């Protein structure tokens, strides 16, 4: 708590994923002036890339739509996308935060009409689809995107390319001379909601990711299951595009493992159970095997696990997976664990293997003398006056818990608690 009266009672929220969005909206609806800064061109972060939430198997866009409406209706909430925090100076109650907005070649005048699409010839890997597909260098990832305007991938078009899209735009929304903008925000408190990055499955050499196309991660599977994803919502073998008949989920892929992430990422069990339901929703005759150490469905999420138990199409076996190999004769995948060597799944092969990889915290990437402490893995530890880590920047949590934490964190930030 500050001794002197704080200079500013506005709040800066760094990160426009679900935690940051919730913290920002809740503080703004409680009457505070709030800046929400997101480094990507759009809000939504990880949740915008999910097909469904557990435990309701409902689309994230439903809650995002409500949140975007709340943002649009609230004059106290200022959203700065494509914007990174560079420097934090000052102290609780009186921070000066330098933010940099990338050049906005596509400006707020964009109506999302799509006239520039035929004029753009450059293709880039789709950031929205985690690089699993390519997309035009100019565009909008989904009709749900917020802000609802196109974005141009930095550096993707040369002068001629820029001139072509500028010529195609009837609304003067292409600013070929756009420059970056640097601004300083005077705020009283900072909420750090920078979220997480999936653990690099390439480091799990024995599990085949990167070398075996039919080994995907859980976040990649979310994109495949999404109607606006790289496969139009079809879960297929990436090697040949065929539908999957049998899927193995490898839990704790790199988690609870001293050589990788020694902690538990808290959501992967539920995520795999949910994804098992995606597979069965697509083909009720498909088979699913889940290799786990412990099934961590705490609280009432237990109901979800119980809903799968006893389903003859879903086998759950305790045991760590040693490796994943392609059977050259069948082209299908062998998942080696005690269960497949000796147990009920002996000799079983799979069309697709999903690695339930964990979360790596993103931390606070800004020049500052008042950075929060981190634990041994980089999660931010609360305790720095005026700076409040939230959600997965602080600890691995699911969406519901992140929203709960973000709501309370809004009050901590408002009161410099």
Partner 1 sequence: MDKIGVYLCSGCGIGDVVDLAKAAKVATGEYKVPVCKTHAALCGDEGTAMIRADIQAAGLDAVVVAACSARAMSDAFQFGGTHVERANFREHLAWCHAAGDEDTDMLAEDYMRMAVVRAQKTEPLTPFALPEGTFCKDVLVVGGGLVGLTAALAAAKAGSAVRLVEKEAALGGWMAAQYKEIPEAPPYKDLEDVKIGALIERVTAEKNITLHLGNTIAKTDGAPGYYTVTLSGGETFTTGAIVLATGATAYDVAKVAATGYGTSLNIITRDQLEAMAKAGAIVQPSTGKKPEPMRVVFVQCAGSRDKDHLAYCSAECCRITLKQARYVKEQYPAAEIYVLYKDLRAFGQHENFYTAVLDDGGVTFTKADVKSVTADGDTLTVVADDVLVGDELTIEADLVVLANGMVPSTVDTKANPVLNLGYRLGTDLPDTRYGFPDSEFICFPYETRRTAIYAAGAVRQPMDPLMAADDAYGAALKAIQAMDLISQGMAVHPRALDLSYPDFGLMRCTQCKRCTEECPFGALDEDVKGTPMPNPTRCRRCGICMGACPERIVSFKNYNVNMVSAMIKAIEIPEEDEEKPRVLCLICENDAYPALDLAGMNKMTYSAFVRFVPVRCLGSVNVIWINDSLASGFDGILLIGCKHGDDYQCHFVKGSELAGKRMENVSEKLKQLALEPERVQIHEVALTDYARIPEIIDGFMATIDKIGMNPFKGM
CB-based contact 61:43 (threshold 8 Å)? no
Task: Out of 266, 279, 366, 387, point to the residue binding partner 1 (CB under 8 A).
Answer: 266
Residues from 16 through 55 that contact partner 1 (CB under 8 A) = 26, 29-31, 53, 55
Residue 377 in contact with partner 1, rule: CB under 8 A:
yes
Residue 5 in contact with partner 1, rule: CB under 8 A:
no
Binding part of the chain for partner 1, among 87-95, 121-129, 182-190, 257-265 by CB under 8 A, reads 257-265
Closer residue to partner 1 (CB): 136 or 256: 256
Closer residue to partner 1 (CB): 138 or 326: 138
Taking the C-alpha atoms of residue 186 and residue 89, their distance in angstroms, rounded to an integer, is: 10
SS3 state of residue 189: strand
Residues from 275 through 294 that contact partner 1 (CB under 8 A) = 294
Taking the C-alpha atoms of residue 411 and residue 417, their distance in angstroms, rounded to an integer, is: 8
Strand pairing class (11-14; 134-136) = unpaired
Residue 72 in contact with partner 1, rule: CB under 8 A:
yes
CA angle centred on 232, ends 231 and 237, rounded to 5°: 30
SS3 state of residue 173: coil
Residues from 173 through 202 that contact partner 1 (CB under 8 A) = none
Q: How far is the CB of 405 from partner 1 (least distance, A)?
A: 5
Q: How far is the CB of 354 from partner 1 (least distance, A)?
A: 20
Angle subtended by helix axes 218-225 and 268-282, to nearest 10 = 30
CB-based contact 189:11 (threshold 8 Å)? yes
Residue 259 in contact with partner 1, rule: CB under 8 A:
no
Kindly provide the b/e burial profile for residues 163-191, where b requires at least 16 CB atoms within 10 angstroms of the residue's own CB.
ebbbebbeeebbbeebeeeeeebebbbbb
Closer residue to partner 1 (CB): 111 or 176: 111
Residues from 118 through 147 that contact partner 1 (CB under 8 A) = 143-144
Q: How far is the CB of 228 from partner 1 (least distance, A)?
A: 8
Q: How far is the CB of 375 from partner 1 (least distance, A)?
A: 4
Residues from 293 through 352 that contact partner 1 (CB under 8 A) = 294-303, 306, 318
CA angle centred on 84, ends 79 and 44, rounded to 5°: 50
Binding part of the chain for partner 1, among 93-101, 280-288, 348-356, 371-379 by CB under 8 A, reads 371-379
Q: Which residues pair with 123 in a beta bridge?
A: 136
CB-based contact 237:245 (threshold 8 Å)? no
Closer residue to partner 1 (CB): 167 or 373: 373
CB-based contact 359:255 (threshold 8 Å)? no
Number of residues that bind partner 1 (CB under 8 A): 78
Q: Interface mask (CB under 8 A) for partner 1, residues 143-162, using x and -?
A: xx---x--------------
Binding part of the chain for partner 1, among 33-41, 81-89, 157-165, 391-399 by CB under 8 A, reads 391-399
């Amino acid at each position: 708590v500050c001794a002197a009266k704080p200079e500013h009672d506005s709040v800066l929220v760094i990160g426009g994923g679900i935690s940051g969005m919730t913290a920002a909206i809740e503080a703004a609806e409680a009457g505070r002036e709030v800046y929400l800064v997101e480094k990507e061109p759009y809000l939504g972060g990880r949740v915008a890339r999910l097909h469904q939430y557990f435990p309701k198997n409902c689309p994230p866009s439903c809650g995002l739509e409500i949140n975007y409406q709340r943002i649009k209706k609230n004059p106290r909430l200022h959203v700065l996308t494509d914007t990174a925090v560079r420097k934090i100076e000052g102290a609780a109650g009186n921070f000066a935060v330098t933010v940099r907005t990338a050049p906005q070649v596509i400006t707020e005048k964009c109506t999302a009409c799509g006239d520039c699409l035929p004029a753009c010839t450059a293709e880039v890997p789709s950031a929205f689809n985690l690089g699993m597909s390519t997309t035009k260098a100019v565009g909008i990832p989904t009709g749900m995107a917020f802000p609802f305007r196109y974005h141009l991938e930095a550096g993707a078009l040369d002068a001629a390319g820029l001139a072509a899209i500028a010529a195609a735009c009837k609304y003067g929304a292409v600013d070929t001379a756009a420059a970056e903008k640097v601004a300083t925000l005077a705020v009283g408190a900072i909420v750090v909601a920078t979220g997480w990055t999936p653990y690099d499955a390439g480091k799990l050499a024995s599990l085949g990711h990167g070398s075996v196309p039919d080994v995907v991660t859980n976040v990649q599977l979310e994109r495949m299951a999404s109607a606006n994803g790289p496969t139009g919502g079809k879960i297929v073998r990436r090697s040949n595009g065929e539908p999957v008949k049998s899927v193995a989920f490898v839990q704790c892929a790199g988690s609870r493992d001293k050589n990788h992430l020694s902690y538990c990422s808290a959501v992967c069990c539920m995520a795999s159970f949910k994804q098992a339901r995606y597979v069965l929703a697509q083909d009720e005759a498909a088979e699913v095997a889940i290799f786990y150490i412990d099934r961590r469905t705490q609280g009432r999420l237990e109901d979800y696990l119980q809903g799968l138990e006893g389903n003859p199409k879903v086998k759950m076996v305790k045991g760590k997976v040693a490796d994943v190999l392609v059977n050259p004769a069948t082209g299908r995948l062998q998942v080696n664990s005690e269960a497949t060597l000796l147990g009920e799944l002996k000799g079983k092969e799979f069309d697709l293997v999903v690695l339930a990889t964990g979360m790596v915290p993103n931390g606070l990437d800004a020049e500052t003398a008042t950075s929060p402490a981190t634990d041994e893995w980089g999660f931010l530890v609360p305790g720095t006056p005026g700076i409040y880590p939230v959600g997965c920047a602080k600890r691995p949590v699911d969406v519901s818990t992140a929203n709960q934490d973000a709501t309370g964190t809004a009050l901590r930030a408002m009161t410099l608690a």
